[in-house]
A and B are shown apart, each in its own frame.
Chain A
Amino acid sequence: MQSIASTARHCAPRLLALAVSLCFSSAALAGTSEQARIAELEKKLEKSMALIEQLSKRLQQVEANAAPATASADKAQAAADQATASAHAASEALVAQQVRIEQVESNLVQVADTSAKRREMGLPVHGFADVGYAYASKPLDNRKSGFVLGNFDLYLTPDLGDRVKTIIELAFEYDEKGNSVGTDVERLQMGYTFSDELTLWAGRFHTPYGYWNTAFHHGAQISPSIARPRLIAFEDQGGILPSHTIGAMASGTSRVEGGRLNYEAFVGNGSRLSGETGSKTLDYNAGKDDNNNKAVGANLRYTFGGVLDGVTVGLNALREQIDEENTVNKTRMNMTGAFVAVDRDNWEIISEYYKFRNQDLSGNTGKHSSWAGFAHLGYAINPVWTPFVRLEKAALDQTDNYFLGNVNGRSYQRQVLGTKYNLTNTTALKLEMNRTKELQPAGEFQYHEARAQVAIRF
């Protein structure tokens, strides 16, 4: 292609020389025959024109061939660029894939490490502890004003596999007389979850009635107040209901229209009244049952959803035979109850009501009707400070052997005023005071108390 172009360039001077020579030739032939000379010159001119035309065609042909060649060169360049870009993209994808593989490997290692660390770290232990100060205007249970060690409660929830659940709770506390530290296997329950609607438990558990007993129990830091309502006090503190049961329990939950339904149903050892006359308390027969009569009970509650989210209402029942130690007294306790709990919009409201229709099985006093209840109202004025007020009342029939034999089986009224201040999410400072009026056989007994408590959880 270059040679053709070169030929074309060389032809141009020759044509110029030919034109010049034609001019000089015509002058030189002036003296010869005009006709012959003109004819010869015309022939030469025709040859020259033919040559010019031929060279012109070749030049056009050369140019025509040169254009596709340039286009081909451009295409080749574009293809080369595209190939480079593709190679670059492929390289980037390869790097990205390598990074991803390394990330996945890293994640797998982390998962394995976490698993291994969990095994190495063992089982997490949770717990509650509290200390405080108590003042009473009159001696109560040989107790005067002073500092008190509260409860040290440890609980574990080991993950034993797919469907197995376990709760192990140990409580350490001084006995009511303050003489020695008692260790209590507070809960030891093992369950198997068949579905959301059914978990079967066996062991020792918190008796499911009302809301407070299972919601807070020994968890002082999460409890709204320092002292439990007296009518649901622990057994060794003169409670009139067994707060623990040894037996079997079914529990479950199910979503229903507008909310969620939860239940617990149980059967366990019946309780007895034991201790010295005048200070007998409920013994829920943790070691062994004293008779063949079992306690049977259930707790059914409905938690609203939607606009009433945080509101729970419930019904509960308990039936068992209670024998009084060293006497012939036998009573069939028939308790039914209802409760409402609100935990929303800064409000903490818990109200429980219990109705007793106890039957005398050892004498001829028949059935006895009693009732007890409380209403606790707390309002969080900011995220850490929750003042509260609580009213308690029990109207207990003193011709009922069950209440007569229990150290705290007297009718009473109590007003409680206090506040809970969350120093942190796991530490609470509580102050409260109460005024109590109790109807004792000797007459009305009034007193008031003040308490302070620091409670932690971990």
Chain B
Amino acid sequence: MTVISQLSRTLLALALSLPALAMAGDVIVISHSSLNMPAGDIRDAYIGEKQIEGGTKLVIFDNAALQKDFLDKVVQVDSAKYSSIWTKKGFREGLNPPAVKATDAEVIAAVKSTPGAVGYVSKAPADVKVVKKF
């Protein structure tokens, strides 16, 4: 009886964790509530080709905990190339690279409180504007 009970609990826990497993690796791009940014401009914004959206200066945030997945899926460059892009952008055009936040929570806090902000997280709370899920 005890074995059956434990097995049932294990199966239940596994079933409950399946949605979370399916979400592993998701990259969700979020923005400040006042920003209406087309999903097609996300890559341009993160390589310094897009600076203004709807009259608002974009403020871009990187998420150190999720950067590799984001670069793979969205920007489609590796971290060395990404760094090189911003070095050249800074030297040639005077642009500063995105500020780097350490966690989802930091990105969410920064995006919520900064007009024009764009960031990416692994899980977006209900009160944050989602631009696109990758």
Contact = CB atoms under 8 A, between A and B. Distances in A.
A434 interface: no
Nearest to B109: A107
B91 A195 contact: no
A339 to B, nearest CB: 15
A457 B87 contact: yes
A383 interface: yes
B90 to A, nearest CB: 6
B50 A196 contact: yes
B51 A108 contact: no
A162 B57 contact: yes
Interface string B84-95: 100110111111
The prevalent SS among residues of A at the interface is: mixed
B96 A159 contact: yes
Nearest to A162: B57
B91 A260 contact: no
B71 to A, nearest CB: 15
The prevalent SS among residues of B at the interface is: helix
Looking at B49, B83, B110, the one whose CB has the most chain A CB atoms below 10 A away is B49
B106 interface: yes
Interface stretch (A30-38, A163-171, A283-291, A396-404): A163-171
A387 interface: no
B49 A260 contact: yes
A114 B100 CA distance: 11
A310 to B, nearest CB: 10
Interface in B18-37: none
A222 interface: yes
A107 B57 contact: no
B44 interface: yes
A82 interface: no
Given A111-B113, A253-B49, A222 B88 contact: yes
Contacts of A155: 90-91
A193 B88 contact: no
A157 interface: yes
Contacts of B57: 162-163, 193
Nearest to A197: B52
Nearest to A126: B90
Contacts of A275: none
B95 to A, nearest CB: 7
Interface in B71-90: 80, 83-84, 87-88, 90
A195 B90 contact: no
Given A159-B96, A163-B57, A425-B80, A126 B52 contact: no
Contacts of B106: 107, 110-111
Contacts of B87: 222, 457
Interface residues of B, number: 25
Contact of A167 (B80, B88, B94): B94
A215 B88 contact: yes
Contact-residue size bin, chain A (C-beta under 8 Å from the other chain): 20 to 34
Contact of B80 (A163, A193, A219, A383): A383
Interface string A127-164: 00000000000000000000000000001010100110
Contacts of A189: 94
Given A193-B52, A215-B92, A107 B80 contact: no
A191 B93 CA distance: 10
A157 B96 contact: yes
Contacts of B95: 157, 165
A296 B96 CA distance: 29
A88 interface: no
B7 interface: no
27 contacts: A107-B105, A107-B108, A111-B110, A126-B90, A155-B91, A157-B94, A157-B95, A157-B96, A159-B96, A162-B57, A165-B93, A165-B94, A167-B93, A167-B94, A196-B50, A196-B51, A214-B92, A215-B92, A217-B91, A219-B91, A222-B84, A222-B87, A253-B49, A255-B44, A260-B44, A383-B80, A425-B84
Given A191-B94, A255-B44, 17 more contacts: A107-B108, A107-B110, A111-B109, A114-B99, A159-B96, A162-B57, A165-B94, A167-B93, A167-B94, A189-B94, A196-B50, A196-B51, A215-B92, A219-B91, A222-B84, A222-B91, A425-B80
